[in-house]
Structure formats: structure tokens, C-alpha cells
């Protein structure tokens, strides 16, 4: 693969946000890919909830939702995913990442934490795609998937074809770059690009499935996500017109609703 694929796999490094020192603690896990850094909060015996950020993001972006989950008595884990934030700092030799690496990291983290089943996985954008594949069979791996009682997708990505399309619109990348990216993604996932969507693992998703979305979100389009969930429609939906793709994470009513769903 070429330079375009490398650029696509290299996230922007953002200024790190701080979490409340009194409510959350730092933790790190030694996993096959390297060191995974994150935060943890809530009672030690609380039902476990895994929170997964999106591309070009970080765990601290979920602070309103994390705080709401803690108030519900949940034990919440949120990690900086490979090539992002403190995990990027802990692995300076790894500035890039891929969907398979994110997916296997979620599964490996579940095992390292001895979590046989998450009460809920709450995931945003690209993280929603990774979380969905972590719950199903993957063409690039043979280890058993993670398990979750429920899944909440916040502005969830429908699949790699739409992720690449969104990247192309945002960067105005030329056609030859998009071709290189598409080939690289297909090679990394060991299947044609068209098969790298939530539809491929929809049958493995929990019955309790929440969608939280801004209907006008142009980064991850609601119609795309609903199309790949045609065989597994959500059990609940929360629409927030005008919320925005990232800003939806900071709406307090969204945090309360997601925490209530996660505790169910």
C-alpha cells in the first residue's frame, strides 16, 4: 500500500482533555499490540460498561456520558484506542492503526479485564464500527468475539466504504488516493471493501440496540447506518437534530439517556 493509505491510518493528535481526578482513575493494559491507556470509574462491583471513542478522538471526550454512567452505579472503562492520545504516547513507534487492530484490541482488553460480558458497550462514530465487529466473527481473526448485553451507537459509522467516502469529502483526496486507501483497507480486513460494514455482523449484535444520532450528521449519515441494520433494526432510537457529529457527546440529556439504557 502507498502513502495515501498511511495518511488515512494516521489520526490527528489532539490536545488532551482532563478528567475529574476524584471520579476517575488511570489504568493501562499490556496487550498484544502494545500498551493500552485508559480511564476507569464507578464502583468496583458495578456492572461493567465499555466506552469506545471514534477516530481522531480520545476517551476523555466521553466525560459527560462517563459521569452519567457512574451516577447509575456502573463500572465504566474508556480507553484511548491505538494511535490515539495517551496510548499513542505509550507506543511512540505506532503512529498508525486499522479497523482490525481496534477490533482485536477491544476483544483483548475484555479478556485482560476478565469481563465475560459487558453490560453495555457505548461507542461513537468509527468506534461503533469497531465495537460491532468485536461482537461478531471477523474474516481476519479466529479468536472468539467479545460479548455484550446491549450496544449503544452514537453517530455510528455504517462501514468502511462510508468512512472512506466521508474522508474523501473532508480532504478532497484525489481518486488515486482513494483507490490506494480502499485497497489497503480491503487487504487489512482480508475481504472486499463492500463486506466491511455493520451488516456483516448484524446478526451477532445484542437485541438491545440503541441509536443516538443527529439526522443531519454528514460525517456518519443516519440513512447509511439504518441501511446496514435493516436485518437488525435498533430497539431504541434517540434523534437529536442539530446536535452535530462530535458535539452530541457533550449533551447532558444524551449522557443521561445513554447511561439509563446502559444500566438496563
Residue 176 is assigned to a structural domain of this protein: yes
Residue 140 is assigned to a structural domain of this protein: yes
Residue 167 is assigned to a structural domain of this protein: yes
Taking CA atoms, 73 is separated from 163, 204, 228, in Å, by 34, 27, 33
The confidence score (pLDDT) of residue 22 equals 62
Residue 28 pLDDT class (50, 70, 90 cuts): very high
Grid coordinates of 188:
487489512
Q: Helix 252-263 vs helix 63-71: angle between axes, to the nearest 10 degrees?
A: 50
Residue 185 is assigned to a structural domain of this protein: yes
Q: Does the structure show a pLDDT above 70 at 259?
A: yes
Residue 238 is assigned to a structural domain of this protein: yes
Average pLDDT, whole number, for the chain?
Answer: 95
Residue 15 pLDDT class (50, 70, 90 cuts): low
Structural domain count of the chain: 1
Determine the average pLDDT of the residues in 10-29. Answer: 76
Query: CA neighbours within 13 Å on the CB side: how many for 29?
Result: 23
Q: Does the structure show a pLDDT above 60 at 16?
A: no
Q: Does the structure show a pLDDT above 70 at 74?
A: yes
Determine the average pLDDT of the residues in 9-16. Answer: 79
Residue 16 is assigned to a structural domain of this protein: no
Determine the average pLDDT of the residues in 22-29. Answer: 89
- Choice between 13 and 234, residue whose per-residue pLDDT is larger: 234
SS3 65: helix
Exposure b/e, 147-179, CB count within 10 A at least 16 = b: bbebbbbbbbbbbbbbbbebbbeeeebeeebbe
Q: Does the structure show a pLDDT above 60 at 186?
A: yes
Please report, for the domain that includes residue 230, its CATH number. Answer: 3.40.50.1820
In 91-239, alpha helices (H): 99-112, 126-134, 160-171, 175-189, 222-228
Residue 33 is assigned to a structural domain of this protein: yes
Residue 18 is assigned to a structural domain of this protein: no
Give per-residue pLDDT as tens, 131-171.
Answer: 999 999 999 998 999 999 999 999 999 999 999 999 999 99
Which structural domain range is residue 168 located in? Answer: 3-11+26-263
Determine the average pLDDT of the residues in 72-80. Answer: 97
Give per-residue pLDDT as tens, 172-185.
Answer: 999 999 999 999 99
The confidence score (pLDDT) of residue 20 equals 52
Determine the average pLDDT of the residues in 23-43. Answer: 95
Exposure b/e, 182-212, CB count within 10 A at least 16 = b: bebbbebbebebeebbbbbbbeebbebbbbb
Give per-residue pLDDT as tens, 127-139.
Answer: 999 999 999 999 9
Give per-residue pLDDT as tens, 46-68.
Answer: 999 999 999 999 998 899 999 99
SS3 19: coil
Share of the chain above pLDDT 90, in %: 92
Residue 18 pLDDT class (50, 70, 90 cuts): low
Amino acid at each position: 500500500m502507498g502513502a495515501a493509505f498511511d495518511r488515512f491510518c494516521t489520526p490527528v493528535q489532539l490536545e488532551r482533555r482532563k478528567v475529574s481526578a476524584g471520579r476517575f482513575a488511570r489504568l493501562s493494559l499490556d496487550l498484544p499490540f502494545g500498551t493500552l491507556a485508559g480511564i476507569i470509574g464507578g464502583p468496583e462491583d458495578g456492572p461493567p460498561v465499555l466506552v469506545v471513542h471514534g477516530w481522531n478522538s480520545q476517551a476523555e471526550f466521553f466525560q459527560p456520558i462517563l459521569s452519567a454512567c457512574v451516577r447509575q452505579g456502573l463500572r465504566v472503562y474508556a480507553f484511548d484506542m491505538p494511535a490515539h492520545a495517551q496510548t499513542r504516547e505509550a507506543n511512540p513507534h505506532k503512529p498508525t492503526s486499522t479497523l482490525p487492530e481496534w477490533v482485536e484490541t477491544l476483544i483483548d482488553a475484555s479478556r485482560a479485564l476478565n469481563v465475560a460480558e459487558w453490560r453495555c458497550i457505548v461507542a461513537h462514530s468509527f468506534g461503533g464500527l469497531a465495537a460491532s465487529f468485536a461482537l461478531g466473527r471477523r474474516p481476519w481473526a479466529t479468536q472468539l468475539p467479545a460479548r455484550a448485553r446491549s450496544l449503544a451507537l452514537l453517530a455510528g459509522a455504517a462501514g468502511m466504504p462510508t468512512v472512506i467516502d466521508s474522508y474523501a469529502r473532508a480532504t478532497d483526496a484525489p481518486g488515486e488516493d482513494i483507490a490506494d486507501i480502499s485497497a489497503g483497507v480491503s487487504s487489512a480486513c482480508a475481504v472486499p471493501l463492500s463486506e466491511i460494514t455493520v451488516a456483516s455482523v448484524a446478526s451477532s449484535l445484542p437485541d438491545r440496540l440503541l441509536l443516538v444520532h443527529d439526522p443531519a450528521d454528514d460525517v456518519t449519515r443516519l440513512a447509511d447506518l439504518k441501511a446496514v441494520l435493516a436485518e437488525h433494526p435498533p430497539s431504541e432510537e434517540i434523534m437529536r437534530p442539530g446536535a452535530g457529529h462530535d458535539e452530541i457527546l457533550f449533551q447532558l440529556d444524551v449522557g443521561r439517556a445513554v447511561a439509563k439504557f446502559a444500566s438496563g
